Structure 1
Amino acid sequence: RKPIQQLIFNNSQQRRIIPVFWAQHDDFAYIGRPYQPFQKLASRFKSLNIADFGIIHWTTRPLDIYFKNTMEQLWSNTADQALIKTAGRYCNAVFGAQSKNFYNYINEWLKEAPIFGRETTNYFITKTLKTAQEVIKQSAFRYTLLQSIDATRLTPKVSNVVSYYKHYEKFIQSYHLANMRFDSSVTLLRNNQVEKAKQIMSGNLAKESILHFSQAIKYNGPDKGEMGLLVSLNTRWYPYILAQQQLLGLAPVSYIFNQTVHESLAQEGGSFTFAFDKHGLLSKVLGEQETGLTYFEGNGVSGLKSDSLFTFNIKTISGKPISSGTGYIEVNFSIDQTGSASIADSIPVVFEITNSGKIISRKTYSPRSKDGIQKLVLPVSFQNKSDPKTDLLIHPGAYKILLNGISFQPDK
């Protein structure tokens, strides 16, 4: 026996040992195909005096055959059964006359499909996908294998299995293509090829990719784990792609001022809060911890309160300065007139946009007694080479200003 196996054996003589397998992993193996199951498990368990096991997983699909093979290896009549034999038995039982076609697919899936993504950081992906082009090519081939299956000859539930994998393959292809384009645009922008970077990042490929995943899990599902992955893609991957489009002036930037929750005891707790409106617009939410302002709620409005100069750096939701483009800044706010000086005697609220300290846009607002939420618009131009820092300055004068949101809308 190897040292680790000897250690397990020695301990198993004195106490119950339960090994726990990872079907996937939370770092770089978070989504996609499962790991390959351990081989000859029955023989290994017998030699180590082990009778039990557990599996860590957060979804049941597409891990089905991993579970089935691991269990069948430990049954007496299928002891140590190879993964590919389990796959064959599954195809015969489920697909009947078309079992060979699906077997050809699932065999390729178990060997070649990617396993990717992270769970323990703010971002779903934290490195360049160097094999993305090959992954897309392999996925396209597997998709042709699925197309060879005649869904009209299958029961609705089995037909749903095929539809699930079809959309999953489209998700894999579009996910890797979106990341390839992201990496290319970063390189182009670094070389000052802004227009080419814009061309590559135009469109809604990230949204389309997430849509394929959401369509896949609807077939014979979804389960809670799949719903969790859908949320994770929307809040830890989509913002990553969107921020690059914002950097290039291709997409609006939206911030909402509201309450945020931070789990101080969480291991690797997330740093960001996002919200989607009914049209699918993603906004980054900033609260007391992110701004130093005080949360306010009352009289039908909520937001953050400021009674002194408030400076807001206009940047993407990832914190990078917008490199190019023109458009306008929109500020949504209201005035808390409680305890303020009389309206007649008060100086107006002043809004200014500055590039490196130089005022490029300025507007004033004089409150009236029955004003509700207001929208103020200021033009802006981003030229990152000469003006690396663009700020919105709000001078509330004698008032307390309640900030609801700030956004940048690029010109079309």
Structure 2
Amino acid sequence: MTIYSYQDFLQTASAALSDANNANAHSAVVVVNLEGLPELDGILGYTEVDAILGQLVQQVRTALNATDIIGPSGRYQICCLLADLLTDNHALLAAHKILRVFAAPLQFNKRRITLLPRIGIALNSDKTSSLQQLMSNASSALHQAKRDKTPIRLFDEKEKNLLLSGIDIWSELDRAIETGELQLVYQPQLWIATGKIRSTEALLRWNHPTRGNIPPDQLVHVAEGTELMIKLSLWVFNTALRQCAEYRRAGVDAGVSINLSAGDLCDPELVELIEQAVNIWSVSPSDIMIELTETAMMENQPGSLETLHALKNIGFKLAMDDFGTGYSSMERLLRLPLDEIKIDRMFVKGMLSQPAYERIVGTMINMGHQLGLHVVAEGVEDLATYERLQALGCDVVQGYFVGAGMPVAALIDKFIAMNQHSMPSENI
């Protein structure tokens, strides 16, 4: 098997693919990205990293057939045309062979270098695709693999459409932040013991002028890992504090919960910027609950635990959201400076019909209390679920039974109405 330069690869692979298409043969393009190489540029220098990439290409060559064509398709990427496959499934087998090649650390100049490969595969299923189209599709699949943190992804047209849509949304999000298209609504959280509002959760909404309502998780997904993420988070934080101050002046004695992302914790300026927001809007840190998902808190990114402790030292409260859906390490859980856990709605909504879910909810409540934490149940939609959570000793409930997310004016009206009830009823 010959190893080609990029231009030679394009010419040779295009000709081979054309022959395969004419022969109605199975073919595919595999793109391999090697995470870890960019960091080595700054440590070892470009020349040495180029030599490492050459050695890696040689290793990939050993995993493939002699008729396959291989060459670099970027500084940290390798592209392979598999033009003589027995079936489409053999492209997956080839990708797994490449993974096995990289399972052991690379030996280079007495160094042991561990790299993480991500692989995107585009099948030439209609046997008519051009090399450029297959490479584009394989790159899209590679992006999906990186996003999902999986080693291999097959190209999916629907996923590509979502990706393109995400790119469009990302390009419009900055404008939306500046022009006021975004808004926050507030979902009340209720103390079970008193039936009174304890706090609210600030929920992001974007009613796009042409796309309609864009789900907040989609917004976070397209912003995560870009410079827009911290800008979006700070907009949410400042807006939530300003409106919290507004509803507190109107007599709503409640704090506010604000969601941050895993990427936010890695921003070295986050703590200082949040402190500035608190000073601007004169809301006490003790009235602010910062929520992060269980997955975000368990990622253990560099500096994230230190950031959490810094926020805690300022006086903010910390909540683990979606508890029960991730993979919590008890050792790390004990090191987190938490004030509460929020049981995911999946367990709460299923607890009346599935005894196993009720046992899980009860166990989470007991564990939270044993750790000295408040426990919030999300997704409470009816009186029966509320009363069962009350019997299990849950502290706080949140969901449509208490109230959906609402603008500040509606929240103030809701608070006045709820103050007339000592405990919830069917028509709260």
**TM-score where L is the length of structure 1:** 0.26
**TM-score where L is the length of structure 2:** 0.26
Q: Which structure would you say has the larger Rg?
A: 1
- Greater fraction helix: 2
